[in-house]
Amino acid sequence: MTQESKVAVVTGAGTGIGRATCLRLAERGWRIVVNYNRSEAEAKDTAAECERLGTEAITHQANVAEDSDCRGLAEAAVARWGRIDGLVNNAGITKVAAGHDLDALSADDFHDIYAINVVGAYQMTRAVAPAMKRGGKGSIVNVSSIVGLVGGGSSTAYAASKGALNTLTLALARGLAPEIRVNALCPSFVETRWVTGKMSAEAYTNAKAAVEEAAPLRRICMPEDVAEAAVWFLEGGELITGEILVIDGGIHLFSLGAAYKPAR
């Protein structure tokens, strides 16, 4: 690791996709701010594992729905290392609700989900942009979802928020060029605690089997698959911005709508 090692901020980094992204970055020598909101123990474990891989990592509590927290998160990175080169907007929430049940979601549910999944990504981008511009360039990766393209998923509010995040990605890519590139990842069903914790064991097994059957590559998405793409966008793709990359094992080659129809 050199003095010029790059610095990344990863939100929602204690578990799942966020943790996998931190570890992949650590393997490549990045210094990392491991953000968490409630999962402090998991975030500390992620940071410790990053350090075991030979890099520097710090944890920082922040709720990305709060603008002051987002600014504090960016300030922590700059105070420690003087720069920010990459941001992975991974923090997200949902509420499970059947798509046909319009009474299952309230206006407050929509506001809460959008506050993290959309406004949080915007606020984090705004917080890190000055440091990235001072450095001459930067890369931002928004972790979206396939349901932002096809509807369905855990709830209508979640799908709508991810659709908004995709549009936000395009708008920010235009607004922050040429110094900062902004791209999004749309994974399909991902095997993480975030997913399994919202389903019964039977429902999870059935959903996993259905996705594996529908996917030409015959497997579901793992956190490491998303992390690999995120790190590539951070390090490579110098001429790529405003891209929305689907990571779904090839399900999009057939009927996305059928594979991700809302549960009844």
How many domains, the chain? Answer: 1
The pTM for the full model equals: 0.90
* CATH value at residue 230: 3.40.50.720
Across 231-256, average pLDDT:
88
* Domain coverage including residue 56: 7-259
146 in any annotated domain: yes
Contact 134, 242 (CB under 8 A): no
Residue 206 inside a domain? The answer is yes
Where is average pLDDT lowest: 96-105, 150-159, 213-222? 213-222
Per-residue pLDDT tens digits for 216-238:
888 888 899 999 999 999 999 99
- For position 190, what pLDDT does the model report? 73
Known catalytic residues are 158
| Residue 264 belongs to a domain | no
| Confidence tier at 197 by pLDDT (50, 70, 90) | low
User: Considering the domain boundaries, does residue 2 fall inside one?
Assistant: no
Give the model's pLDDT for residue 203.
67
pLDDT at 138 > cutoff 80: yes
Q: Give the 3-state DSSP-derived string for the chain, with helices as H, strands as E and coil as C.
A: CCCCCCEEEECCCCCHHHHHHHHHHHHCCCEEEEEECCCHHHHHHHHHHHHHCCCCEEEEECCCCCHHHHHHHHHHHHHHHCCCCEEEECCCCCCCCCCCCCCCCCHHHHHHHHHHHHHHHHHHHHHHHHHHHHHCCEEEEEECCCHHHHCCCCCHHHHHHHHHHHHHHHHHHHHHCCCEEEEEEEECCECCHHHHCCCCHHHHHHHHHHHHHHCCCCCCECHHHHHHHHHHHHHCCCCCCCCEEEECCCHHHCCHHHHCCCCC
**Range in 22-31, 51-60, 95-104, 173-182 the model is least confident about:** 95-104
pLDDT beyond 70 at 195? no
Considering the domain boundaries, does residue 1 fall inside one? no
In a domain, 36, yes or no: yes
Q: Looking at residue 1, what is its pLDDT?
A: 45
In a domain, 229, yes or no: yes
pLDDT in tens, 39-86: 999 999 999 999 999 999 999 999 999 999 999 999 999 999 999 999
Output the average pLDDT for the chain: 90
Banded model confidence at residue 262, pLDDT cuts 50, 70, 90: very low
Looking at the domain assignment, is residue 225 inside a domain? yes
